[in-house]
């Protein structure tokens, strides 16, 4: 089973403006749609669309739980979120201007997580996780969920010998690397930061890091991405597509990659599927939608070069 | 009794930004608060704060009715909204930048009103209105509530010989003037438009209009406001205060004016109360809050000049 953990989910409210956004004026929207926000849930969505069974875990506010759950149900995401009493799942307001002029994001503060809810999540992992399982911990940390709480969560999953994947950033990513999880997805800047903690040349530092972490998928922006897996390096060249919106492409990659990896344990196949699904995703306005059939065709165009 | 009718209410979501709003970036908010939106409900709020009994009527979406009602309850507004099945009360997102740099508004499309709900509202007026009552119809019209629906509503109130006040704009304001309601509040531009339908000089046109409409409170921007009432003209000079946010000042004026007028039927007193409450309102960040005690003091500083 694959479990995704979204500690700080959001409800994305997409406002489609009639005209360009004008500051300090009234801007009329022609359409409003809702999407789920939070990297873990996006991962679950990608897995679900690929037909790979998974369960989305995490915290969600009690006050707007019905609205949150409605979107999960629409997206057919199996879930078991722990409700934060009196909490409100934050909304991320995405203001979309006409003619692909770009989007402006307004993010709200998160709910505050109590000790009881933290224990509930830990208890769930301790009870149900097995060494056959994959756990994806993704996204930001909500208020009152400290770095040591995250450490406890990762340790609990590691103790059960599950495959622990982390799509985190900043301090949380450093912690995941220190604890030696099985998968991380740093960007160029984060990779440099991770390596700065190591000694020797860049190559030696990388060699050292990849001995501690089974799989490192490092995105290098325009230059594509590099994957370090079991002592080997792979360059991933994504297919060229007409990009409409790249928001959520990374989440789509991670979800699809883990879905494929859970089935075949073949790193090249998993990288191809992740890359192809992400390439399908960027062609849509939506921040999560992609077409698995289109991805199947795009998969043939993904190039994996062993370095 | 005073009834306010808000045909197209909103939930105002106030997002207080940490930094200046930057387009096409992620903007973090430090605080989120909720307020009621819609001119009629703001009128009811002002009346309620002045201790004048009133009932807020109108339409509201069924899907987020609980959230809408919670704000009404917090503001102690007596209400009886007709629920639109499967409808969602629109949100107006007010993005507030730090240090009073201004606010940007994002408005959503409204729900669509069905025939059954229109009839319910008409039935209520036909059943409960008396000639002792004041009805305030304020704000925009929702989808599928046409100008002839508004005409029917105004006619129903007029047939019961209630005092009909309208805070409307555009085509709806023109209709209200044509039907000869008892109170309108045009701005400078709207007044010119209303008079353009009359013949003769501006003075003659105004004379003609004020014979059809008991009370015209015309705001003239910086120059204060002018009131035409029973053949007389009054200039209203508001007290000078430190303005923080003038959103909702007009709604506050109308609510407070009608509250006072319902008690004493004295136009000068009513204008003073309306002007003083609005002067208190603009000193607060909120789009509806004002301090009745402060307004009591400010009232002494309002000047009414009979022209």
Concatenated DSSP letters of B264-278: H--HHHHHHHHHHHH
A31 reaches B (C-beta below 8 A): yes
For an interface test with A, the pick among B90, B99, B104, B246 (most A C-beta atoms closer than 10 Å) comes out as B104
What pLDDT digit, counting tens, does each position of B64-120 carry? 999 999 999 999 999 999 999 999 999 999 999 988 777 899 999 999 999 999 999
B221: pLDDT strictly greater than 70: no
Tokens of A27: 């801007």
What average pLDDT does the segment B188-206 reach?
A: 81
Model pLDDT, residue B244: 84
A105 reaches B (C-beta below 8 A): yes
A·B CB contacts under 8 A: 64
All domains in chain B, ordered by first residue: 2-19+30-306 (3.40.1190.20)
CA A159 to CA A152: how far, in whole Å? 10
Q: Enumerate residues 6+ apart whose C-beta is below 8 A from A65.
A: A81, A83, A89
Nearest to residue A76, comparing CAs of A301, A307, A289?
Answer: A289
What average pLDDT does the segment B37-53 reach?
A: 96
CA B212 to CA B178: how far, in whole Å? 8
* B103–A25 CB contact, under 8 Å: no
In chain B, the percentage of residues whose pLDDT exceeds 90 is 80
List the 8-27 stretch of A: residues with Cβ below 8 A of B: 15, 17, 21-27
Please, what's the b/e burial string for A125-146 (b: 16 or more CB within 10 A of its CB; e: otherwise)? beeebeeebbbbbbbbbbeebe
Q: Enumerate residues 6+ apart whose C-beta is below 8 A from A297.
A: none
CA B30 to CA B16: how far, in whole Å? 6
Contact in structure between A165 and A270 (CB atoms under 8 Å) = no
Model pLDDT, residue A196: 84
A103 reaches B (C-beta below 8 A): yes
B201: pLDDT strictly greater than 90: no
Please list every residue in chain B whose beta carbon sits closer than 8 Å to the beta carbon of residue A32: 108-109
* B24–A102 CB contact, under 8 Å: yes
Please list every residue in chain B whose beta carbon sits closer than 8 Å to the beta carbon of residue A16: none
Please list every residue in chain A whose beta carbon sits closer than 8 Å to the beta carbon of residue B25: 104-105
For an interface test with B, the pick among A93, A97, A107, A110 (most B C-beta atoms closer than 10 Å) comes out as A93
Q: Enumerate residues 6+ apart whose C-beta is below 8 A from A98.
A: A16, A17, A18, A19, A20
Q: Select the residue of A24, A29, A106 nearest B108 (Cβ to Cβ).
A: A29
What average pLDDT does the segment B284-290 reach?
A: 88
CA A75 to CA B161: how far, in whole Å? 54
What is the pLDDT of chain B when averaged over all its residues?
93
* B31–A109 CB contact, under 8 Å: yes
Structure ipTM: 0.76
CA A15 to CA B62: how far, in whole Å? 21
Contacts 24+ apart (CB under 8 A), A123-127: A124/A57, A124/A80, A125/A3, A125/A153, A125/A156, A125/A157, A125/A160, A126/A156, A126/A160
Contact in structure between B252 and B288 (CB atoms under 8 Å) = yes
Tokens of B5: 């009718």
CA B91 to CA A144: how far, in whole Å? 29
B93 reaches A (C-beta below 8 A): yes
Please list every residue in chain B whose beta carbon sits closer than 8 Å to the beta carbon of residue A24: 102-104
What is the nearest CA distance from A90 to chain B, expressed in angstroms?
10
B103 reaches A (C-beta below 8 A): yes
CA A140 to CA A146: how far, in whole Å? 11
CA B273 to CA B251: how far, in whole Å? 13
Q: Which residue of A has its CA nearest to B63?
A: A67
* A109–B32 CB contact, under 8 Å: yes
Q: Strand locations in chain B, DSSP E?
A: 2-6, 10-17, 26-37, 54-61, 79-84, 91-96, 103-107, 134-138, 163-167, 183-184, 215-219, 225-229, 232-237, 303-306
Contacts 24+ apart (CB under 8 A), A124-129: A124/A57, A124/A80, A125/A3, A125/A153, A125/A156, A125/A157, A125/A160, A126/A156, A126/A160, A129/A3, A129/A156, A129/A157, A129/A160, A129/A162
Model pLDDT, residue B202: 73
B299: pLDDT strictly greater than 70: yes
Q: DSSP letter at B248? A: T
CA angle A160, A166, A170 (to 5 degrees): 130
Provide the 3-class DSSP secondary structure of residue A97: coil
Contact in structure between A13 and A93 (CB atoms under 8 Å) = yes
Model pLDDT, residue B222: 63
* A29–B105 CB contact, under 8 Å: no
The alpha carbon torsion through A209, A210, A215, A217 (nearest 10 deg) reads: 70
Q: Select the residue of B15, B30, B103 nearest A24 (Cβ to Cβ).
A: B103
Q: Alpha-carbon torsion B195, B197, B201, B205, what sign?
A: negative
What pLDDT digit, counting tens, does each position of A250-259 carry? 999 999 999 9
Nearest to residue B185, comparing CAs of B151, B230, B215?
Answer: B215
Classify residue A285 by burial, with Cβ atoms within 10 Å: 0-12, 13-18, 19+.
middle
- In the predicted model, residues of chain A with pLDDT beneath 50 are none
Q: Which residue of B has its CA nearest to A21?
A: B23
C-alpha distances in Å from residue A239, one per residue of A256, A285, B274, B291 = 16, 19, 66, 63
Sheet holding A79-84, edge to edge: A79-84, A54-61, A2-6, A134-138, A163-167, A183-184, A215-219, A225-229, A232-237, A303-306
What is the nearest CA distance from B92 to chain A, expressed in angstroms?
10
Which residue do the tokens 């609205």 mark? A67
For an interface test with B, the pick among A21, A66, A94, A104 (most B C-beta atoms closer than 10 Å) comes out as A104
Which strand (E) or helix (H) includes residue A10?
A: strand A10-17
Nearest to residue B90, comparing CAs of B107, B65, B75, B103?
Answer: B107
Model pLDDT, residue A221: 63
Count the neighbouring beta carbons within 10 Å of the beta carbon of residue A122. 16
Which residue do the tokens 């599950």 mark? A162
Model pLDDT, residue B80: 97
Please list every residue in chain A whose beta carbon sits closer than 8 Å to the beta carbon of residue B23: 21, 23, 102, 104
């Amino acid at each position: 089973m694959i479990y995704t953990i979204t500690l700080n989910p959001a409800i994305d409210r997409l406002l489609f403006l009639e005209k360009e956004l004008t500051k300090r004026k009234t801007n009329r929207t022609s359409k409003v749609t809702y999407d789920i926000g939070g990297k873990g849930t996006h991962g679950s969505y990608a897995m679900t669309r690929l037909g790979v069974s998974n369960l989305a875990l995490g915290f969600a506010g009690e006050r707007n739980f019905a609205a949150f759950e409605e979107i999960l149900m629409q997206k057919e995401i199996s879930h078991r979120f722990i409700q934060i009493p009196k909490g409100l799942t934050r909304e991320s307001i995405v203001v979309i201007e006409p003619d692909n002029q770009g989007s402006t994001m307004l993010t709200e503060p998160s709910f505050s997580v109590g000790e009881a809810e933290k224990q509930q999540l830990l208890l769930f992992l301790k009870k149900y996780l097995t060494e056959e399982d994959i756990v994806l911990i993704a996204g930001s940390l909500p208020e009152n969920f400290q770095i040591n709480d995250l450490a406890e969560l990762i340790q609990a999953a590691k103790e059960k010998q599950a495959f622990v994947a982390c799509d985190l950033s900043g301090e949380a990513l450093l912690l995941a690397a220190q604890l030696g999880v099985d998968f991380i997805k740093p960007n160029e800047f984060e990779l440099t930061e991770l390596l700065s903690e190591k000694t020797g040349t860049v190559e030696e530092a990388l060699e050292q890091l990849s001995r501690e972490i089974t799989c490192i998928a490092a995105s290098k922006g325009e230059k594509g991405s590099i994957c370090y897996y079991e002592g080997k390096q792979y360059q991933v060249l994504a297919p060229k597509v007409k990009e409409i919106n790249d928001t959520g492409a990374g989440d789509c990659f991670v979800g699809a990659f883990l879905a494929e990896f859970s089935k075949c344990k073949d790193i090249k196949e998993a990288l191809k599927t992740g890359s192809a699904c992400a390439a399908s995703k960027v062609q849509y306005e939506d921040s999560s939608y992609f077409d698995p059939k289109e991805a199947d065709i795009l998969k043939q165009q993904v190039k994996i070069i062993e370095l």
